[in-house]
Structure 1
Amino acid sequence: MNAPSRLTRQQAQSLLADGVQADVRDSAEVLALLERQFEAALRHRSGELTQLAGLLSPLLDAMEARRQQRVSLVRALLGPDGTMAQYIAAQPAPAQADLKAAWSDLERTVQACKEATARNGGLLAEQYGVMQRVLHGEDGIYAPR
């Protein structure tokens, strides 16, 4: 990844647009994997859960790297307080509409991923709690009254 200061304005803008598109694609894949993770957790398929974690990790790492690059590029183009919303608003009409639509799609998919992650985490925590009670009993369940 090139440092933002070594890129032309056009190269930086192209990287931004391409990165958003890549995140739209990868976030949709993450969401699909999270749905598979939920099904695997419901059916107690630990091997599949491990496999899914292995598939999720590189996607999430790539998205985080692109997010960091995006922040750097926007700041290089707009100054240290620049935001993606400001960058989108500053684009000419055809590019602005495309980027705005992609960014909105990304935001919706990321929100769905957050909700799916919370749901999956809740299910796994509940299953863990059940297993702990099965193995160790509940506190006070056998205490004299």
Structure 2
Amino acid sequence: MSPPVPRLTRQQAASALADGVEQDLVAANAIHALLERQFQAALRHQGDALGALAEELAPALDAMDARRRQRVALVRALHGADATMAGFIAAQAEPGRAKLAAAWSELERLVVACKLATTRNGNLLAEQFSVMQRVLHGGDGTYAPR
């Protein structure tokens, strides 16, 4: 369910959307940096660092998701239930449209980079867990005589 949209003028809503994209750009860059630190900590088996990074990531991701939900609600309030951010951007006047389009494109690129880093990190941690399970509980029979 989308959060309630406060009463805003169209200009205030458009401004809030643009501000949210800018905030998400800053947040996505910070999240990507945290994910890179998480990967390095996982490579080095630094459990304490992994825990601390998880504590930093969770609120950053929550805040970014809250802005995403607000963005969806605002775009739909302005342009209808099926509206998209691309449609919202296309309806904006210049010079704001070009700046917002560039910011949105960069945000999309960063989100993809964060998703790839998250997958990479998860795969590494899963592999490390699997190795530890084999070490602690015996092999899976791969090298056992038949």
Pick the TM interval, shorter chain.
over 0.9
Aligned pair count?
Answer: 144
Which amino acid in the other structure matches residue 91 of structure 2?
A
TM-score, structure 2 normalization = 0.94
**CA displacement, residues 73-121 of structure 1 (integer Å, 9 cap, x when unaligned):** 0000001111000000000020000000000010000000001001000
* Alignment map for 1:19-38 (pairs within 5 Å): 19-38=20-39
Relative to structure 1, the CA distance from residue 134 to residue 105 in structure 2 (aligned partners, 3 Å threshold; closer, same or farther) is same
2:53 maps to which residue? 52
Which amino acid in the other structure matches residue 38 of structure 1?
F
2:109 maps to which residue? 108
Q: Distance in 1 between matches of 2:103 and 2:144?
A: 59
| Contact map agreement 1:34 1:117 (CA 8 A) in 2 | yes
SS class of match (2:139): coil
1:82 matched to 2:89? The reply is no
Displaced runs of 4 or more, over 2 A:
2-5, 139-145
How much does 1:3 deviate?
3.9
User: Tell me, which stretches of 5 or more residues in structure 1 are unaligned?
Assistant: none
Q: Distance in 2 between matches of 1:142 and 1:102?
A: 53
Q: Distance in 2 between matches of 1:93 and 1:58?
A: 34
Relative to structure 1, the CA distance from residue 133 to residue 24 in structure 2 (aligned partners, 3 Å threshold; closer, same or farther) is same
* Alignment map for 1:1-145 (pairs within 5 Å): 3-4=4-5, 6-140=7-141, 145=146
TM-score, structure 1 normalization = 0.94
Percent identity, please: 65
